[in-house]
Structure 1
């Protein structure tokens, strides 16, 4: 039931304003993103992620990369020149339709829809590099826990997983305090009134200690954790660099 609600939200977002839904800058609503500018943000982000990866004690192979929560393919496209094959996975058919349309010249990318809580189409240890940013935060904690287990399962030994999720609300901000006190069910009413039904984005947290425990139980090893508040000032977020032995 929960996943159905989340999927419906992202089908609506993907149909209404898919580029803004991926990078929700206020001034970019209603088709405000220039697509070249939009995709350049992905190129810069992946370049930074791979530079950080090179500083870790991981001998990364560049065969298969997974972009989880790929949206319109912003990061899948950026991964394409470095990897033999890129798999972009998303919960929304509308997002994937735009991803396929926008990335026709990148023939090593495969876009796939999934349920939002598992990776049944990918076998154990098949993926060299997994990247997931500003995605898990839109799924409930139970779903995030399931996905971290799946990421660990499909990551090859010696591969690298990089993902971000908010640990908790920033109670020093009004929005963070309201999210803590009211939760998504109440806030969704206000979001609908302010932005319209097609622009509701839920935010969910996953405490850092629980993330680390989940990864440990899945047999993954955390190499590095950095503060990374890309979810906005209302949340305290971290990016995790993870491998598997």
Structure 2
């Protein structure tokens, strides 16, 4: 099975912008930083606007961006919240995010190394966010992480979690995908045949059971969920957002 932490560390060191948004114009050697960050700014302005229209005004004290990469969303968030914390597993991504933060003179954003316990996410947040991240994390690892993120949402705050829910593979494509993730050396051969660098990591795509996420939200006192379906190529994905309205409750 591929090691996604290792793969994202490689992306962070070799091609961090493409690792965040897999579009040719964001390859490291040709990336237009203004265009790159405009995508993050436009996304988060639209996302927060929709959440507040549907779920009510959001406190703007602290925000947490899980899987922040080079800060595409976290840095724009810093103009909207008093404090922003970005978490990522890849040191190269965090180094680049910190460089960009200093370059732009942003003093209220902090970038920290992530782990499965979220040990560097201290305290509660009014907005806990993740976008185009969990699809690259195995479900058995990702679901507990989502639960821990939800634990960090303050009463009255919101969570917005994005997951893939359907790969859209034919049976042959699905079998080929499984082979690429389990047979050593096959992925390097595939990249070589496709004209890519053999060492370039594979971006794993995992389908999440949304009922499990709804159940975790319910147990933690979140209200009615706002669901938005989004297609990324052949992959069907979903934004799940809700406001935390009561203290944590564990049902018998």
TM-score (normalised: structure 2): 0.85
- Cα offset for 1:198? 3.3
- Which segment is superposed worse, 49-58 or 148-157? 49-58
Aligned counterpart, 1:184: 181
- Cα offset for 1:216? 2.5
Aligned counterpart, 1:121: 120
Matching of residue 238 in structure 1 with residue 238 in structure 2: yes
CA distance in 1, matches of 2:132, 2:99: 22
Aligned counterpart, 2:75: 77
Aligned pairs for 1:183-222 within 5 A: 184-186=181-183, 189-190=186-187, 193-194=190-191, 195=196, 196-222=198-224
Aligned counterpart, 1:147: 145
Do 2:67 and 2:86's aligned partners in 1 also have CA atoms closer than 8 Å?
A: yes
Residues 115-154 of structure 1, C-alpha deviations (whole Å, 9 max, x = no match): 1x23223345x10011210011110102221121111110
Do 2:220 and 2:244's aligned partners in 1 also have CA atoms closer than 8 Å?
A: no
TM-score (normalised: structure 1): 0.87
CA distance in 2, matches of 1:87, 1:130: 10
Do 2:68 and 2:86's aligned partners in 1 also have CA atoms closer than 8 Å?
A: yes
CA distance in 1, matches of 2:180, 2:242: 30
Do 1:46 and 1:78's aligned partners in 2 also have CA atoms closer than 8 Å?
A: yes
| 2:218 partner SS | helix
Give the ranges of 4+ consecutive aligned residues of structure 1 lying more than 6 Å apart after TM superposition: none
Counterparts in 2 of 1:32 and 1:160: CA distance versus 1, 3 Å: same
CA distance in 1, matches of 2:144, 2:236: 21
- Cα offset for 1:201? 1.6
| 1:238 partner SS | strand
Aligned pairs for 1:47-86 within 5 A: 47-86=45-84
Number of residue pairs aligned between Structure 1 and Structure 2: 238
Gaps of 5+ in 2: 246-252
Residues 161-204 of structure 1, C-alpha deviations (whole Å, 9 max, x = no match): 1121011221369756744x647325983366414223322111
CA distance in 2, matches of 1:168, 1:53: 24
| 1:214 partner SS | helix
CA distance in 2, matches of 1:36, 1:176: 37
CA distance in 1, matches of 2:204, 2:185: 7
Larger of the two Rg values belongs to structure: 2
Aligned counterpart, 2:18: 20
Aligned counterpart, 2:249: none
Gaps of 5+ in 1: none
Do 2:187 and 2:202's aligned partners in 1 also have CA atoms closer than 8 Å?
A: no
After superposition, the CA RMSD in angstroms is 2.4
- Cα offset for 1:243? 1.7
Do 2:180 and 2:186's aligned partners in 1 also have CA atoms closer than 8 Å?
A: no
Do 1:176 and 1:235's aligned partners in 2 also have CA atoms closer than 8 Å?
A: no
